[in-house]
Amino acid sequence: MRLWTIQDQPAYARLTTKGELYGDWRRVDSQCFKPAYKWLCAQMETRGIALKGRPPVWAWNHKPDMRISAHQYRGSRGVVLLELEVPNDLVLLSNYDAWHCVLNDHFLTTSIDDVAGMFDHPRHEVEASWLRIFDLEYMGAIPGYSDWAQATFPIIRGDYVISAKQFAAR
């Protein structure tokens, strides 16, 4: 599967030196996000994608527009866009917008009518609603959700790399 990931220069240097790069819990943005990441890890493991206790590597299934400053802090230098070819059986795709329901620990609504009661669901219903993030066609057809898919996988191996382009965030 063709994927694109954005990595900083030290991560890229590790990849070129060691021949592989994998997720690191120390790089998860916030302690409050760790439960969501662990939930996603469990989903990957359930689907036979072994993570060996590490968080996944994140990527896009389409080439990102690097002119958008949201990819890195404005003015950041030493950032590398890697184009990869990753074996399909190692990749779990999910809807980018819907992932934020998992990240923010709330019910994944699928209609405007659900929004008012999105905080009134028992825990098992909240977590069951999150499984919809993996149904890309369904989520992409719901107003308010884009059709952007993000990819998670266990490791970047050197032989997955098709190209590497350095850039400065705008």
- Give the pLDDT band (50/70/90) at residue 143: confident
The pTM score is: 0.90
Q: Are 6 and 58 in contact, with CB atoms under 8 Å apart?
A: no
SS3 call for 8: strand
Q: Are 168 and 75 in contact, with CB atoms under 8 Å apart?
A: yes
Write down the pLDDT at residue 74. 61
Q: Are 96 and 148 in contact, with CB atoms under 8 Å apart?
A: yes
- Give the pLDDT band (50/70/90) at residue 116: low
What would the pLDDT profile of 25-79 be if each residue is shown by its tens digit?
988 877 788 999 999 999 999 999 999 999 999 999 999 877 665 555 566 667 8
